[in-house]
Structure 1
Amino acid sequence: MIARLQSTLGALLVGSLFSTFLSGTVSMQVAFYSTVYQKDALRLKLTVSVIWLLDFLHTVFICVGDWEYLIADWGSNVEDWIPWSIAASVGLTALMTFVVQCFFAYRVYLVSREKLYFAVPLAFIALARLVAALVSTAMMVRLGSYSRFRHDVGWVFTLGLSLSAVLDVLVAATLCYFLRKNRSGFSSMDNVINALTFYTIQNGSMTFVATVAALACWVSLRNLVFLALHFVITKMYANAFLSTLNARKAIRLQQSSAERDPSLPVALNTSTYARGFEINRTHNHHTHASDDIPMTTKVHINVEESIHVDGDYEHETNDSDDPTKVPSDM
Structure 2
Amino acid sequence: MLYPTRPSVIKEVAFQDRSLALCPLEVISRQDSFILATILFHLSNTLGALQISTMITSGIYGITLLQTYVYLHNKCNDPTSFKAAICFLWALDTLHQIFICNMAFTYTVTDFGNVLILTQETWAMIAIIIVSAFMHTGVRSLFCLRIWWLSGKNWMLVSIIMFCSLGELGTLLTFAVKNITVVHYQLFGLGALSSEFYAATILTIVSDSFIAISQVVLLLKRRSNVRRTDSMIRTLIVYSVNTGLLTTACALTLLITWATMPDSLIYDIFFSALPTLLFNALLATLNARKELREKAHGTAGLISLPLAPAAPTSSNISTQVSQFQDSQEAAFNAIEIKIERSEQIV
**TM class by smaller structure:** 0.7 to 0.9
SS at match of 1:77: helix
AA aligned opposite 2:60: L
Contact 1:251 1:294 (C-alpha < 8 Å) held by counterparts:
no
SS at match of 1:296: helix
1:85 aligns with 2:124: yes
Structure 2 equivalent of residue 150 of structure 1? 191
1:296 aligns with 2:344: yes
Structure 2 equivalent of residue 61 of structure 1? 99
> Could you tell me how far 1:123 is from its partner in structure 2?
0.8
Greater shift in the superposed pair: 121-130 or 284-293: 284-293
Structure 1: stretches of 5+ with no match in the other structure: 262-280, 298-325
Greater shift in the superposed pair: 167-176 or 100-109: 100-109
88 and 150 in structure 1: CA distance in 2 versus 1, 3 angstrom threshold: same
- 1:194, 1:285 → 2: CA distance? 25
Structure 1 equivalent of residue 165 of structure 2? 126
- 1:46, 1:229 → 2: CA distance? 28
Contact 1:82 1:140 (C-alpha < 8 Å) held by counterparts:
no
- 1:233, 1:114 → 2: CA distance? 28
> Could you tell me how far 1:197 is from its partner in structure 2?
0.5
Q: How many residue pairs end up in the alignment?
A: 278
1:17 aligns with 2:55: yes
Structure 2: stretches of 5+ with no match in the other structure: 1-38, 303-327
- 1:210, 1:223 → 2: CA distance? 17
> Could you tell me how far 1:101 is from its partner in structure 2?
1.0
Q: CA RMSD in A?
A: 2.3
AA aligned opposite 1:197: I
> Could you tell me how far 1:31 is from its partner in structure 2?
1.2
* 1:173-192 matches, cutoff 5 A: 173-192=213-232
Contact 2:212 2:244 (C-alpha < 8 Å) held by counterparts:
yes
1:106 aligns with 2:154: no
> Could you tell me how far 1:66 is from its partner in structure 2?
0.7
Seq. identity, %: 22
Bigger fraction of residues in strand: 1
Structure 2 equivalent of residue 193 of structure 1? 233
Structure 2 equivalent of residue 202 of structure 1? 242
Structure 1 equivalent of residue 201 of structure 2? 161
Structure 2 equivalent of residue 237 of structure 1? 278
From the CA coordinates, give the structure whose radius of gyration is larger.
Answer: 2
AA aligned opposite 1:213: T
Q: 1:94-146, CA deviations, whole angstroms, 9 ceiling, x for partnerless residues?
A: 11111111111222222222222211111111110111111112222332013
Contact 1:126 1:163 (C-alpha < 8 Å) held by counterparts:
yes
Greater shift in the superposed pair: 183-192 or 100-109: 100-109
Bigger fraction of residues in helix: 2
